[in-house]
Amino acid sequence: MQPLEVGKPNQQIFSDTLLKLAESDRNLLVVTSDSRGSGRLVAFGKQLPAQIVEVGIAEQNLVGVAAGLAAAGKHVFAVSPACFLTARGLEQIKNDVAYSDQPVRLVGISAGVSYGALGTTHHSLHDLAVLQAINNIDIVVPADNFETQAAVEAAIMHPRPLYLRLGKKAMHHLHAPGADFVIGKALRIRRGDDVALLANGETVEIAAQAADLLAARGISADVLSIHTLRPFDEAAVLETARRVKAIVTVEEHSVHGGLGSRVATLLMQAGVTPALRIVGIPDEYTYTGSQQEIFAHYGITPADLAQTAELLLHATRVEAI
Amino acid sequence: MQIPELERKSIEYRKTILSSIAQAGAGHTGGSLSCTDILNVLYNAVMRVDPHNPNRSERDRYIHSKGHSVEALYTVLADKGFFPAEKLATMGRGGSHWVGHPTRKVAGVEQNTGALGHGLSVAVGMAIAAKQDGLAHRVFTLMGDGELTEGSIWEASMSAAFYKLDNLIVIIDRNTLQITGRTENVMALEPLAERFSAFGYAVRTVDGNDVAALVDTFAQIPFEPGKPNLVIARTTKGKGVSFIEDAADWHHHVPTAAELTTALAELDQAEQRRQERYATA
Ligand SMILES: Cc1ncc(C[n+]2csc(CCOP(=O)(O)OP(=O)(O)O)c2C)c(N)n1
Ligand SMILES: [Mg+2]
C-alpha cells in the first residue's frame, strides 16, 4: 500500500464547500455562536455577511434560532464546538429541531478530543450517544476531505435534521477518485476477510494504516468508514461480519453509546457474533494531552489497532482448536 | 371582530377549556384560563392566519412558548376551523395528536413546545428570516411569567434587540403565579418592564383579561420602529371562575364533575350579564 497523502482539516473542507454552495444559494445561512474562527468561517462572514447570523456565546439560542430560520425555509447550518452544541444546546436539539422536525444542519466542530489538552470541558465524547437516543436526527461523521465535501453537499438537500461531526486535524485522503458517497451507506476503504476494522471520523485513517500493517503480517483486514451512524448501514456491517472472524471497532467517542455499541447491538440481535473489541475512550477521567497523545494512550494508533486485531483473531483460532 | 363578540368568545372558550380538561382528566387549568383572552384577541382580531391553508407563507406566526397551556390553544384553533372541534375530545387519549403540549401534528401549530424557555429563540429565527426576505408577516410568542427565569429567554432577548426585530411580538402572561406560588417569592422578576426595556424591547403593559384593551395595544404594533415589541399582559391565573382565580393549586388541578358544573354555571351567568350590559347600552 502507498502511504496516505495528507489533505486539509475536514473543518476547512466544510467551510470551503459551504462558501461555494452559499454563493449560489442565497437561502443558505450559517448561524454561529462566537464560533466562526474555530469553524473557519471568517472568510465566509467577510464574503457573505448577509448569510451569517451571529448569536454570541449562546448555544441554546443558536439552536432555537436555527430552528426558526429552518421553519422559514432557510437552509441552515448551525456551527459550534461539538462539546457545547450537543450539551448546552441539547434540549433545543431534542425539541426545537428533532421533535419539531425542523431540518437544521447542526455542525459540531472540533469534535471528540480535537481540542486535546484543553481538557474535558472541550471534549465531546457524549454527542453520538445522546443524539442516537433522540429520534429524528441523522448523524454523519465523515472521515476525510472527500467524505466531508460530499456530506456537506448532501446535507443541503437532506430532508431531516442532521448532525455533522467534524474535527480539526489535517486528514489523509482515503478514497480513490470517483468514490460514491451516500448518507447512510458505509464506504469500504480496504477489502479483507480475516478481520474487519469498523471506524468513523478521524479514526478511519488510523484503521486503514492498521490494515496495511496487518497485511504485511499476512492478515487481510477489511476497513469500513461508517460515516453515518443514523441511518445505520446494517447491511454493510452484517455482510462484513459474516465474512470475517474478528471485528475491531474504533471511534473518537466514549465506548458507551457510539459506533462500537451500535455495531454490538446489531450483531448480537442478528445472531452474527465474530469476536468483537470496542476501542474508544473508556469511562474514566480522560487522559490529558494532545489528540494524538490521547489516542496513543487509549490504543488508537495503527500499531495498537493492528495488535488488538491480531490478538483477537489469534484468540478465535485458539478457541477453534 | 367587534368587542362584544370577542367577549362572548372568551366566555365560550373558557367553557370549552374547562370541559375538555375535565373530560381528558388532565390539563393546565389556571394557565389556560389566564391566557384565553390573549389568544382570542390574537386569532380573532390581530393575526392574519388562514385555517384552510395553514401553511400559507404570508401568515403571521404564533408560537405557544408556555406550551402547558395547550387547552387554550387547541380551543381557539378548533374554533377557527384548523381542525374539527370533535378532536378536542381525543385530548390525551392513546394515539391522539392532541397531547398535553402542542405539536406540529396538529394543524395551526407552528412549533412543538412544552419545555419552557424555547419559544422565543425560535420566534427570533422566524423573525430574522422574514426580515431577510422582506416579508411583512409578524411573529408572535406567548410566555409565562414563571418561564422568564429560564436563561435562554435572555439569550434570545439580546438577539431580538440586536437584530432590531420590530416584527416580533413577545407577550408575557403576567399572572404572578407559577407552580410553587407567587413568582416574586419563587424567584423575583420585578422590575420586569424595566428589565425588558433595558434589554432593548419597546414595552407596553396592558390588562391581559380585557379584550378591548388588548385589541387597542396590538393595534399599535410596531410600538417603536427597530425595536422588538413586548407586551406585559397583566392577567389573573384561572380567570373567569371565582374559585379557580388566583390560586396556585389550580395550575394543573382538574375540575371534578361538581366543580365543572359550578364553573360552567358561573360562566353562563357572566354571559347573561354581558348580554344585559349590551342590551341596556
Ligand atoms: C424547562 C421546563 N421546566 C419545567 C417545566 C414544568 N413546568 C410546567 S408549567 C411550569 C410553571 C410555569 O409557570 P408560568 O410560566 O408562570 O406559567 P403559567 O402561570 O402561565 O401557567 C413548570 C415549572 C417545563 N414545562 N419546562
Ligand atoms: Mg405564571
Instruction: Please tell me the total count of domains within chain B.
Output: 1
- CB-count burial class (<10 Å; 0-12, 13-18, 19+) for A140: buried
Interface contact B115, partner A, CB < 8 A: yes
Sheet arrangement for strand B229-234: B61-64, B139-144, B168-174, B229-234, B202-207
Give tens-digit pLDDT for B180-201. Answer: 999 999 999 999 999 999 999 9
The Cα–Cα gap between B249 and A122 comes to 43
- Which residue among B35, B68, B209, B244 is best mutated to probe the pocket of ligand 1, counting the most ligand atoms within 8 A of its Cβ? B68
**What range does the domain containing B104 cover?**
3-279
Which domains does chain A possess?
6-172 (3.40.50.970), 187-320 (3.40.50.920)
Q: How many CB atoms lie within 10 A of CB A320?
A: 7
For B226-235, write each residue's pLDDT tens digit.
999 999 999 9
**How far lies A310's CA from each of A168, A174, A259, A279, in Å?**
30, 23, 21, 14
CA distance B33 to chain A (A): 25
For B263, phi then psi, to 5°, come to: -65, -45
- pLDDT value at residue A37: 87
**Looking at the predicted structure, is the pLDDT value of residue A319 above 70?**
no
pLDDT reported for residue A222: 98
Cα dihedral value B18, B19, B25, B26, nearest 10: -30
Residues lining ligand 1, CB < 6 A? Answer: B 28, 30-31, 34, 66, 68-69, 114-117, 144-147, 173, 175, 177-179, 237, 251
pLDDT at site A1:
56
**How much is the average pLDDT of A87-101?**
98
What is the distance between the alpha carbons of residues B245 and A318, in angstroms, rounded to a whole number? 77
Confidence of residue A253 (pLDDT cuts 50, 70, 90): very high
For residue B121, give the nearest of A56, A61, A70 by CB distance. A61
Q: What residues have CB less than 8 Å from A245, skipping those under 6 apart?
A: A194, A195, A274, A275, A313, A316, A317
The answer to whether A129 and A157 are in contact (CB under 8 A) is no
What is the model's pLDDT at position A4?
A: 82
pLDDT given for residue A318 in this prediction: 72
Q: What is the pLDDT of residues B142-172, one digit of tens each?
A: 999 999 999 999 999 999 999 999 999 999 9
pLDDT in tens, A12-21: 999 999 999 9
**Chain centroid to CA B164: how far?**
24
The ipTM assigned to this model is 0.96
Confidence of residue A38 (pLDDT cuts 50, 70, 90): confident
Residue B54 in grid coordinates: 395553514
Cα–ligand 2 centroid distance for A32 (angstroms): 33
pLDDT at residue A2, as a whole number: 65
pLDDT at A3: 72
- What is the grid cell recorded at B118? 424555547
Strands (E), chain A: 6-9, 28-32, 52-54, 75-81, 105-109, 138-140, 162-165, 170-172, 187-190, 195-199, 221-225, 228-230, 246-254, 275-281
CATH code of the domain containing B266: 3.40.50.970
Q: Which candidate, B122, B113, B217, B231, places its Cα nearest to that of B171?
A: B231
Distance between CA atoms of residues B260 and B15, nearest Å: 9
